[in-house]
Structure 1
Amino acid sequence: MPQVMEFKLPDLGEGLTEAEIVRWLVAVGDVVAVDQPVVEVETAKAMVEVPCPYGGVVTARFGEEGTELPVGAPLITVAVGAGADEAVEPEDSGSGNVLVGYGTDHSRTARRRRVRPGSAAPAATSAPTPAPAAVVTTPVVASPAAASPVVTGPVAVISPLVRKLARDHGIDLRALRGSGPEGLILRADVEAARRSPEPVPVAAPAAAAAPEGERVPLKGLRGVVAEKLSRSRREIPDATCWVDADATELMAARAAMNAVGGPKISVLALLARICTAALAKYPELNSTVDLAANEIVRLPSVHLGFAAQTERGLVVPVVRDAQTRNPESLSAEFARLTEVARAGKLAPADLTGGTFTLNNYGVFGVDGSTPIINHPEAAMLGVGRIMAKPWVHQGELAVRQVVQLSLTFDHRVCDGGTAGGFLRYVADCVESPAVLLRSL
């Protein structure tokens, strides 16, 4: 008899709690190999293919395309060992790989095969509706009477699924005591309150108070960005300094580099190389703050994030070990990551682990900005548009290519003198690229 195994949506990492089914790659009745991708899902950060760790016959699928599922919810069931000549040996029935993006070499070349009528595969048309994901956290809240007093201010809830569950069952999140870290309200807490004989009702707002207009759900990429920026504003005491710089010599140097042939070097790559040199001089800005330990952690490598606009919104891919790359290598990596980002194929690893961000908002035709730091980093360099302006050069008024540079920094990691020294060094390298030769 075949053994029916249930494969659930795996933990996608980096705090991601749900994913939307974009496209099923298998149908009920198909034979799948170990680690064969079975569904394409879209998280808040990227689109990824999910490989199944079991080999056998697909007996059920849970969720239609466009459905959003929480981590831990059932995806498919597989009858391991089902089929005639399609049988799978028991020792090959599961790989143990449950993380997105990991699989064996044969996983992507496995052929979709349907079991012939009369084979041992269980019927799939009567598949049960998906059950909620299992909750393993022990709830703390028992009844509303034992709950903490209703509080004001932000509610400690990260997952939009928890908020929706509370909304659907009329539970006031402000009346709950979270069992997660630092009082975070978990799904188990809402479930416990729902099972309570005296649920806490949510007061319905007056009809006149409801604002009119289009409502856009704050979820997916937009939701993750909103939460991250809010956290940055809550935790980081930031400050911004800025300076105008004459970029005429930098643009001339780039033109000379590209005139000799070979891959073209972008302005962004030159600015990135200047940033890595500046961070070597001012390592305080390539750091993060460990609140739990009350320590500043200075990081040995520069993992450089850069802002890239896509159809799904603004994303920040990360160039690993940017301090080891020359302008040509940086140009190639910027181009590669930008192309992958616009195709919506960035992996979570491409979007995490940054230590410093370079934000070229000049591409939008603006001169200046005071951006929000990309938490948990400590600083961000902003670059405005490079344009012809009147400028005093060698004592004479001339038309020069001028750019505004801004540095937003975490005031906990350094004072204004360090931030100003970093920004001045960057501006000196922009105005006279020969200054950079001292550090090459």
Structure 2
Amino acid sequence: MAQVLEFRLPDLGEGLTEAEIVRWLVAVGDVVAIDQPVVEVETAKAMVEVPCPYGGVVTARFGEEGTELPVGAPLLTVAVGPAEGSSGPAGSSTRDLSPEDAGTSGADTAAVRAGVSDTMAAGAGVSGAGAGAGVSGAGASQGRTGDGGTSDESSGNVLVGYGTGAPVARRRRISPAAQRASAPAAGRAAHEESAEHSGPVPVISPLVRRLARQNGLDLGQLAGSGPDGLILRADVEYALRAAGSTVRPLPAPAPGVERPAAPLSGTSVSAGGSPAPSGTGGRRIPLRGVRGAMAAKLSRSRTEIPDATCWVDADATELMAARAAMNAAGGPKISVIALLARICTAALARRPELNSTVDTAAGEIVRLPEVHLGFAAQTERGLVVPVVRDAHRRSAESLSAEFARLTEAARQGRLTPGELTGGTFTLNNYGVFGVDGSTPIINHPEAAMLGVGRIVPKPWVHQGELAIRQVVQLSLTFDHRVCDGGTAGGFLRHVADCVEQPAVLLRTL
């Protein structure tokens, strides 16, 4: 009989205590190899694929897509090889094996599957091969009391404790069976088709899944307009409008079940995806994941940092001409943001006060020797700030390549926690949204942020004559605790001088 090992949600990075299941990559009954990714989860900092340290056959999965789990909660169980002299009920976790001991080769696959069949025949099998399949039979009916856990029959999930007898605290969700039972008759067919749909639905955003689930929409019937058939939020909104321009409210949840508040009956979907208010009602969207982490950081910044902003208009005509000359010479293309980043690092070398942080506990300003340059990137999952490491040591060509790599990773939701932390100064190019100026919130715990507006032709006095020039507005928001207006103004003026006359930058290279 095969041994069944339990794989729990690992620690995914500094300060991360929970993660939301976005997509299962394996189903119950699949054979997995050691270190094979088995689930895609979203943390407060990034979307990551979690590899399983065991090799064998998946016997159970804990949690549906959209479920939020704390670090240390069970993810799945894997049957690894025929276990001789195994003790304890089938389905219990075995924690004394290393991942290497738990591996199986291709030749052992049949034996493992046979062991799993014996285990299931013994009364501790698995129920349901779909998302959120849980352990049933003897192992589940006992509530896994041997591990200090309890069984959550309403959701099909098993809550396993840490050995203290207390169950793991976890959000509960409405099970597919409960949703089908409480859904209106007109929507039951869609729920049943969704339950029978085989293969993963190409949806990357949990918000898209939640919007469809709240309105009884079967994602398996939609054709995505994104890359590789990816279903986007706009696709769901279009399907809802085509179905009658109204949003069906969710049925009343079972006691203890958390979900966003449903819109009132007859509320229409607006262009932004949120229901237009009808009366006094509205839809509640939980602040969690990337958006929740960013909200907490911005709120802390506004609370702790006494910020001030100064700005200046600059003639970027010569900078754009220099970039055109660089790109005409051949080789990798140089981006405008890379040139601005290079100017930033040169200005920070002259004004190191702005590359610092405040240690409020010690009452000290900490000047940082390295420049790790963050830049704001807007994604479907919210605002993220990837970090270019050691930006002060990079050339414009190296900066261009790194900006491109991190931007693409942000769009795909593949940034690692390490690529989203540790910034010392942020560059915010809000000009891509077609705006000229802004007073951004400092990315806590940094001390300053440089904002760059759009570069557009404007009337400008050049060499004593009125001319049409490429003009950009630059703004600097800074922590007034680390420096005064003279330092901030000197930094911004040097940036503007380098933009207007790129040759000035050569003095610092």
TM range (shorter): 0.7 to 0.9
Letter in 1 for 2:406: L
- 1:6 deviates by 2.1
**Hey, what does 1:78 align to over in structure 2?**
78
The TM-score normalised by the length of structure 1 is 0.74
Q: Please give the residue correspondences for 1:252-271 in structure 2 after superposition, counting only pairs within 5 Å.
A: 252-271=321-340
**Hey, what does 1:58 align to over in structure 2?**
58
Q: Please give the residue correspondences for 1:19-38 in structure 2 after superposition, counting only pairs within 5 Å.
A: 19-38=19-38
Aligned with 1:281 (options 337, 346, 350): 350
- 1:39 deviates by 1.4
CA contact (8 A) 1:57 1:83 kept: no
Stretch deviating more after TM superposition (351-360 or 212-221): 212-221
Describe the shift of the 1:133–1:227 C-alpha distance in structure 2 as closer, same or farther (beyond 3 A): farther
Aligned with 2:98 (options 89, 94, 97): 94
> Is 1:236 aligned with 2:305?
yes
Structure 2 CA distance for aligned equivalents of residues 404 and 319 of structure 1: 23
- 1:133 deviates by 5.6
Letter in 1 for 2:158: P
SS in 2 for 1:116: helix
CA contact (8 A) 2:81 2:115 kept: no
**Hey, what does 1:147 align to over in structure 2?**
none
Structure 2 CA distance for aligned equivalents of residues 111 and 211 of structure 1: 63
Describe the shift of the 1:63–1:277 C-alpha distance in structure 2 as closer, same or farther (beyond 3 A): same
Letter in 2 for 1:8: R
Letter in 1 for 2:113: R
Aligned with 1:295 (options 347, 364, 371): 364
Stretch deviating more after TM superposition (344-353 or 60-69): 60-69
Describe the shift of the 1:289–1:95 C-alpha distance in structure 2 as closer, same or farther (beyond 3 A): farther
CA contact (8 A) 1:302 1:322 kept: yes
Describe the shift of the 1:68–1:113 C-alpha distance in structure 2 as closer, same or farther (beyond 3 A): farther
Describe the shift of the 1:130–1:381 C-alpha distance in structure 2 as closer, same or farther (beyond 3 A): same
Letter in 2 for 1:32: V
Q: 1:142-165 deviations in whole A, cap 9, x for unaligned?
A: xxxxxxxxxxxxxxxxxxx89x79
Aligned with 1:218 (options 260, 266, 287): 287
Q: Which protein, 1 or 2, shows the higher relative CO under an 8 Å CA cutoff with sep ≥ 6?
A: 1
How many positions carry a matched residue from both structures?
A: 357
> Is 1:399 aligned with 2:468?
yes
**Hey, what does 2:113 align to over in structure 1?**
116
- 1:283 deviates by 0.9
- 1:220 deviates by 1.9
SS in 2 for 1:428: helix
Consecutive unaligned residues in structure 1, runs of 5 or more:
85-89, 97-105, 139-160, 166-209
CA contact (8 A) 2:44 2:290 kept: yes
Q: Please give the residue correspondences for 1:6-45 in structure 2 after superposition, counting only pairs within 5 Å.
A: 6-45=6-45
- 1:36 deviates by 2.5
Structure 2 CA distance for aligned equivalents of residues 274 and 235 of structure 1: 29
CA contact (8 A) 2:2 2:116 kept: no
> Is 1:350 aligned with 2:419?
yes
Aligned with 1:316 (options 385, 390, 393): 385
Structure 2 CA distance for aligned equivalents of residues 382 and 112 of structure 1: 59
- 1:37 deviates by 2.0
Structure 1 CA distance for aligned equivalents of residues 96 and 17 of structure 2: 30
* Identity across the alignment (%): 78
Structure 1 CA distance for aligned equivalents of residues 508 and 477 of structure 2: 24
Stretch deviating more after TM superposition (317-326 or 16-25): 16-25
SS in 2 for 1:412: coil
- 1:116 deviates by 3.4
Describe the shift of the 1:54–1:296 C-alpha distance in structure 2 as closer, same or farther (beyond 3 A): same
CA contact (8 A) 2:374 2:423 kept: yes
CA contact (8 A) 1:29 1:121 kept: no
Letter in 2 for 1:37: P
Describe the shift of the 1:211–1:414 C-alpha distance in structure 2 as closer, same or farther (beyond 3 A): farther
Structure 2 CA distance for aligned equivalents of residues 285 and 35 of structure 1: 43
Describe the shift of the 1:398–1:110 C-alpha distance in structure 2 as closer, same or farther (beyond 3 A): farther
- 1:403 deviates by 0.8
**Hey, what does 2:255 align to over in structure 1?**
none
Q: 1:187-241 deviations in whole A, cap 9, x for unaligned?
A: xxxxxxxxxxxxxxxxxxxxxxx95223222222221111110011111111111
Structure 1 CA distance for aligned equivalents of residues 118 and 22 of structure 2: 26
Structure 1 CA distance for aligned equivalents of residues 323 and 415 of structure 2: 29
Consecutive unaligned residues in structure 2, runs of 5 or more:
85-93, 128-134, 141-156, 173-278
> Is 1:340 aligned with 2:409?
yes
Letter in 1 for 2:288: K
- 1:132 deviates by 5.6
**Hey, what does 2:482 align to over in structure 1?**
413
Structure 1 CA distance for aligned equivalents of residues 322 and 289 of structure 2: 42
CA RMSD of aligned residues (A): 3.0
